[in-house]
Structure 1
């Protein structure tokens, strides 16, 4: 059971006590991501995520790292298109120390100019790493084609041009505008003590950044069925197809999960069986989806040798066309639902799983959504809803991203 405490300043604190574990997972979630950035800000949300680890007025970056190593804890963060999360996982008796350090990072980071310059180069290397990972790069480029005129299509890491422009003043201005109490959720799960909850309330009651509060930038992105091609120093050709998907609150989203499972998310899926097992066209072939507040995408990825790229694409399209024409069978839907049920339940084995799930439910729905509720939605999926999603999804024009070996290589 999740209990929610709302501080006077608007910060929401979610607590799920799991007395059968010895761990505590705690996350500071901010309801802002790269999809909320202005063009000139592209990458600043992710840059701030990095900078919060670079030292506070009372702790150096090394001391922060040593503190968590000393207690055997994990400290990390991530930026998505809609949220930023700073989280830690520790043994229960170290949880108060961990949240104290997290709060210090959140409220008192220095943003020293020397650290900003160093971290800029670290992220340049992170960008290079993405480019050296073609299955990541082809996906990133696909988003830029699907949503070319919106921040949802821009890279989370930003560009070299925007990254070069970030200064201490820009960082602090962006945080004043976006890191406001009403957008912050503290999610804690595990063997949580009352002392820890009281400590969190004390730490985050001090959050008074409301004078600069501005309305979160929310514009509806328009899907475009374009194409991007890139030559790179790779051995394989990489193909990603993108269809306009569903938003996270769409009533058909659970049916989309079933479609994804049937088409390409498992080793028994149609794509895997036909492309890899029967035709041996690819080692890696799968489908996947992303659902956000105002946008979504359903994607198919495959990597193959350059001389088989055309055949690979043709085979993928034959499979999707057959799925549209024939529909998914009752037995396929039954198997998919059973596997999704298993994935959901097995995906809640750790305190960190509960922490993440509870925060996402709060940020998306504004309330707890129990496992039983989710399972009831899954059980309600039937042939009619699945085949409606298939027709609505796979009969529309798609976007395409291709990375191929450079000529002569």
Structure 2
């Protein structure tokens, strides 16, 4: 992997994969829901949508047609800390793809009529989350864990703020955050140096607005335990249990990742084997970790019939309690390491996965560990490390989010 810093501060990271016939291209912007004021709640995600709605040179339909014409898929996402626009195309179409992405980035119209229409689209997207209890219960959990901080807000926003978005707000936000020092262009695949020169020509000359005062989130988010329940006329009961986790740069992060694998991250995990395979209490049960620059979390999720909710949660508590008191086994740790290493290495076989890894590492961490370094970090985790992590993680200081019909037997 190589890195270039353009004269204006835009960073280009690129990794050659000569055996591939494709090139993955991503524009990464350090602008996410964490960077929004209360009045801007949801604006990062809204801008992500609007960049597809037409430029001074291309209509929205033309953007879609031109990517179809070169056999490429274009997509985007917004997270709490970043926005990313990306595509994967055949190597000989890479320059065309970058030209379209640059046009969207620099010359989007933000037409007021399109803004009005897209508000309706995103309101439908927000409603679809509310209609998907396993997504909704997770978003509500974050609002409990970090109620007084932007990190606890949903990425999509809410109706009250969304309805007030206009072209001026979009311009002010982009002037503040869509600036060279916040931009990373990540490339992976089969390309030559001419393509890198072309990217530098497209993105290495624009200037940020020096008169804009940056809004920064200065306060450190403080985790809070709590409980929330939403009664809904649905067939299943859904629960998320959240614990404090680790930030991205924590040296013990791989201890937590391996703990997650053992607790509920795989089909051989304790949660899956006990709750689904042995007791048949749930179709879906798992754990996951989230790590950001400022905060992290460890979450356990399960969905079951309302009458089984209490039993399922009691089993979750028994499993985490046993791991906390007795620890995990050497066999579990060995299996988790092999699974994690295999998943990591196999996941890097595509150009898109390499592009995503390099782009995120540069934007958020500003560092790049080699593949061998990552494997070594996983291999060097000791049993005592994972057991200590379990002891610190599974405390009574937890947050609980439930969405269930009124008939559900609550685990209280």
TM-score, length-scaled by structure 1? 0.98
1:304 counterpart residue number: 304
Query: Is residue 336 of structure 2 the alignment partner of residue 326 of structure 1?
Result: no
2:8 counterpart residue number: 9
Q: Give the superposition deviation at 1:278.
A: 1.2
2:58 counterpart residue number: 59
Matches within 5 A, 1:248-327: 248-327=248-327
Matches within 5 A, 1:57-206: 57-206=56-205
Q: Secondary structure at the match of 1:264?
A: helix
Q: Deviations over 1:273-311 (max 9, x none)?
A: 111111111010000010000111100000011111111
Query: Is residue 347 of structure 2 the alignment partner of residue 355 of structure 1?
Result: no
Asked whether the 8 Å contact 1:16–1:192 carries over to 2, the reply is no
1:389 counterpart residue number: 389
2:210 counterpart residue number: 211
d(CA) in 1 for partners of 2:406 and 2:59?
45
Q: Give the superposition deviation at 1:407.
A: 5.9
d(CA) in 2 for partners of 1:367 and 1:16?
15
Query: Is residue 46 of structure 2 the alignment partner of residue 50 of structure 1?
Result: no
User: Which consecutive unaligned segments of at least 5 residues does structure 2 have?
Assistant: none
Asked whether the 8 Å contact 2:77–2:85 carries over to 1, the reply is yes
Q: Deviations over 1:8-27 (max 9, x none)?
A: 11000011010000000000
Asked whether the 8 Å contact 2:238–2:304 carries over to 1, the reply is yes
Q: Give the superposition deviation at 1:213.
A: 4.8
Q: Give the superposition deviation at 1:406.
A: 4.9
Q: Give the superposition deviation at 1:376.
A: 1.0
Asked whether the 8 Å contact 1:178–1:214 carries over to 2, the reply is no
2:39 counterpart residue number: 40
Query: Which is further off, 362-371 or 243-252?
Result: 362-371
d(CA) in 1 for partners of 2:55 and 2:66?
13
RMSD: 1.2
d(CA) in 2 for partners of 1:119 and 1:318?
47
Q: Give the superposition deviation at 1:37.
A: 1.1
Q: What is the aligned length?
A: 407
User: Which consecutive unaligned segments of at least 5 residues does structure 1 have?
Assistant: none
2:227 counterpart residue number: 227
Q: Secondary structure at the match of 1:89?
A: strand
1:19 counterpart residue number: 18
Asked whether the 8 Å contact 1:44–1:158 carries over to 2, the reply is yes
Asked whether the 8 Å contact 1:245–1:298 carries over to 2, the reply is yes
Q: Secondary structure at the match of 2:265?
A: coil
d(CA) in 2 for partners of 1:310 and 1:318?
12
Q: Give the superposition deviation at 1:368.
A: 2.0
Q: Give the superposition deviation at 1:214.
A: 3.7
Q: Give the superposition deviation at 1:321.
A: 0.3
Q: Secondary structure at the match of 1:240?
A: strand
d(CA) in 2 for partners of 1:92 and 1:47?
31
2:336 counterpart residue number: 336
Change (3 A) 1:407 1:396: closer
Q: Give the superposition deviation at 1:233.
A: 2.8
d(CA) in 2 for partners of 1:149 and 1:97?
44
Asked whether the 8 Å contact 2:183–2:363 carries over to 1, the reply is no
Q: Secondary structure at the match of 1:368?
A: coil
Q: Deviations over 1:68-127 (max 9, x none)?
A: 011110101000000100111100010000000000100110000000000000000101
d(CA) in 1 for partners of 2:263 and 2:211?
47
Q: Deviations over 1:325-361 (max 9, x none)?
A: 1001111111100110000000011100000001111
Q: Deviations over 1:190-223 (max 9, x none)?
A: 0012221111000012221141454452331111
Asked whether the 8 Å contact 2:53–2:59 carries over to 1, the reply is yes
